[in-house]
Structure 1
Amino acid sequence: MTLAAAPAVAQKIGVGQTRGGGAPEGPPIVAIHATVEDMATKKEIGIVERGGHFEVQEGQQVRLRLVAEAAGDRRRFPSTRFEVNSESRHIYVDKLNPEVGAVILTGGRPNSRGGAVPVQYEILENLNVGDDLRTGRFYLDIVPQRTQQPRPEPKPEPTPQLGVTLYSDAGYRGASTRFLASDRDLHDDAVGNDRVSSIRVDPGCTVTVFEHPNYGGVASTFTEDVYGMDGTRVGNDAVSSLRLECSTQARRGVTLYSDGYFEGVSAFFSGDVANLGATDFGNDRASSIRVDQGCEVTIFADVEFRGRYATFRDTLPLLNGTPVGNDAVSSLRVRCD
């Protein structure tokens, strides 16, 4: 943008004569102000009242347009002559249009000694306006260009820690303790020793609970929630220590269900199992299978991957009619892409 430098003396801008000489036109003018438009965005950024101040940034180009407020809430945009005093190059006149009462200005150097740049106006049309309003001033305060402060980088949401929660009552009720790591002795935890009746297992976690402290005695391993410990190898009110492993990577595999249509007791398996009788799910118990996307499971009627077998890549709500049959799975192989 080429800026026209203001001369070292006051410059008058506008037509030279007041229009008409007869009776004043229109309803009486009761107030004067100017709208301020940012030329970069073409949006109105404020209003400066007669005798009022408005901030203009160094290098910012604005358009002032005079507005005459008439009685009855009517607006007029009269032809106007402007006079801009700029002896220290704090403001530059870029363009004028006195016919519509507008002038385009650009902020120059801020005044280190303070003080505003006066912009004087004179209404040229023969409006019904008193001498006290026909002429007046607006004041522009030139301020240094604001540099936009960089926005701080948003803090990443903390990754929730995975773990398990042990409960003293079945159905995830009663006293509870959440574990994010293995614990060799539960006697000093809220849930306590020999009191565990249900377990919630976060996705991606595997927990092995033991009958005795220091990971001793009978053990049971779970990858899903356990509504009640009755029927598990460890049993109810018998857990004294636990080992915990969690991974943020989603595990894939298969889930066996003791009843059809994915109901009853369930167990998740991500690898081969040579003998389901050694797991808490048990042997000859599966009635339906859920297979994760990209995985394949082969079920066998006998342990050690022997006997009748069938391979599935899709979820199966009923094992009736398959080569292995219902309540007959004793071992399985799992493969995932």
Structure 2
Amino acid sequence: MRTERNLTRLDRVFARLDREPERPAHIDVPKMSRHRMALLAGTLAFYLAIVWAVVTTSWLVRLDWQVMFFRPYQQWSEIHWFVDYYVVLGQRGPTAVMIAAWLGWRAWRQHTLRPLLTLATSLLLLNITVGAAKLGMGRLGPHYAVTIGANEMGMGGDIFPSGHTANAVVTWGILAYLASTPRARRWLSAISAVTSLGVGLSTVYLGTHWLSDVLLGWIAGLLILLALPWCEPLITRAETALFDLRDRWRARRAAPAAVKPVEVPVPLKPRTAPQSEPAARSTRAPAYLAPGPHTARSERTPVTPVGPRRPPHPDRVARGTTSAARPLTGG
């Protein structure tokens, strides 16, 4: 007869949580290969070429103005509501929450902190590199342009490169970077490319970015994804340090608490009678107690009562005797 208790879903969840974290053996961590190095160098050269084309007010700046005067949001106004919602896929706050929730579930399931640490590293690099480029070049957006045909550089703006586009490339591309199989990596790469392409074109449609801003945003996000393998040793050390910190914290909680010394109460000395009083006074029994030694009920000698239990009555006759005839009175 089977006596084992069937595990509920909650029991299985707690059993999984109690397991020690371990890195899955089938996950291949990307390395900085020659092919990746070549892609990184070519992408960096393309980045510098776009910046130079905008700084020198070349054909790319003229194309920016032509697209701005075309006003796509007026040409295709019927899709304006959809683009307003779609561009949210490039905002840093909502996308970071969505991707962090998915990667957090993967980290719990695979018992490793690498997905979350990789996402945090990529977002940190994104804020540093793209933020520095925005503030350094200071380009104004289409809605705030002053001189027609100018590149609007160094005017105190923060539009070049496009932060929405770079964020879309990084946050959605990190899913492909962390994929565990080549097939999943190909599919996720295609999905992230389409999503980031749509986000970049949405900003051009709404008139919030120049076309060159979007091009530089795509390249800036791709540079971060290509450079992530250089950060893998740092991510591994951070993961090991966090697990060591967790183990020390658990050991500190499991250690028995220090036993505090228990104070033993000192017994009080009995109060002695004054020497002037006689010793017999201390042994005198209280007034409310009967004199003499007290005996228990079981030690007493049973006594049989003599005589009737009822009180005497003048009209009552004892048993075994005959009563005399009463004189009759009357007529």
What TM-score does the superposition give when structure 1 sets the normalisation length?
A: 0.28
Highest Rg: 1 or 2?
2
More helix by share: 2
More strand by share: 1
What TM-score does the superposition give when structure 2 sets the normalisation length?
A: 0.28
